[in-house]
Amino acid sequence: MTADVKNEPTRRDFLYIATGAVGVVGVGSAAWPLVDQMNPSAAVQALATVEFDLSTVEQGALVLIKWNGLPIFVRHRTPDAIAEAQGTALADLKDPAPDSARVKLGQEQWLIMIANCTHLGCVPEFDTGVFRGGWDCKCHGSQYDSAGRVRSGPAPKNLVLPPYEFLSDTLVKIG
């Protein structure tokens, strides 16, 4: 485990983008700003897929969107965060997975994950824990790295990846 000096954006850069009903995601004690930019109709909400415009997410930032009632992290990783994730030895991981298994080839800057801790489902906080550009679950102390891989604490598994595909370099379809 490496305790890194944080030099990435903080929660100030975290946007919560609600794609459905407001207030459905428990975010613990964090007071994240709410940006309701989609406001889809009921018919759209009923669809099993969500398309999201990645051009709205600056490098280093993280947004939280909703898909099928689940909170989804969309993280635009910096080159440093990618390098750190790629350079981590699998032997250091609780749930070993190379960074390449966490992202799409050629789109390594985008990390898209279900935002529920694999312990009891809390929404971890971004970049407030041990790992630079990682997640800290305040509920019981699980720590995730910059690839969303669990590194310590009671969580048994890495943050789960939803099904998704890139429709273009700036458009992703989740579901």
- Residue 157 found at the interface with ligand FES (CB under 6 A): no
CB of 45 to ligand FES, least distance (A): 27
Find out whether 121 and 158 touch, Cβ atoms under 8 Å: no
What's the half-sphere exposure (Cβ side, CA atoms, 13 Å) at 123? Answer: 21
Question: Which residue among 1, 140, 157, 163 is the active-site one?
Answer: 140
CB of 122 to ligand FES, least distance (A): 4
Among candidate residues 147, 11, 144, 159, the one with its CA nearest the CA of residue 80: 147
Which tokens in the block code for residue 72? Answer: 């989804």
Pairing status of strand 125-126 against strand 50-53: unpaired
How far apart are the C-alpha atoms of 125 and 143, rounded to whole Å? 10
CB of 123 to ligand FES, least distance (A): 9
Identify the residue among 18, 81, 112, 137 touching ligand FES (CB under 6 A): 137
Find out whether 153 and 105 touch, Cβ atoms under 8 Å: no
Q: Does 76 participate in catalysis according to the annotation?
A: no
Q: How many helices (H) and strands (E) does the chain have?
A: 2, 12
- Residue 25 found at the interface with ligand FES (CB under 6 A): no
- Residue 142 found at the interface with ligand FES (CB under 6 A): yes
- Residue 140 found at the interface with ligand FES (CB under 6 A): yes
Identify the residue among 62, 74, 122, 174 touching ligand FES (CB under 6 A): 122
Identify the residue among 153, 158, 159, 172 touching ligand FES (CB under 6 A): 153
Instruction: Give whichever of 104 and 138 is closer to ligand FES, judged by the CB atom.
Output: 138
How far apart are the C-alpha atoms of 111 and 102, rounded to whole Å? 7
3-state secondary structure of 103: coil
CA geometry: angle 42, 65, 21, nearest 5 deg: 35
- Residue 119 found at the interface with ligand FES (CB under 6 A): yes
Instruction: Give whichever of 52 and 135 is closer to ligand FES, judged by the CB atom.
Output: 135
Active site residues: 140
Query: Which residues of this protein are in contact with ligand FES, per CB under 6 A?
Result: 117, 119-122, 137, 139-142, 153-155
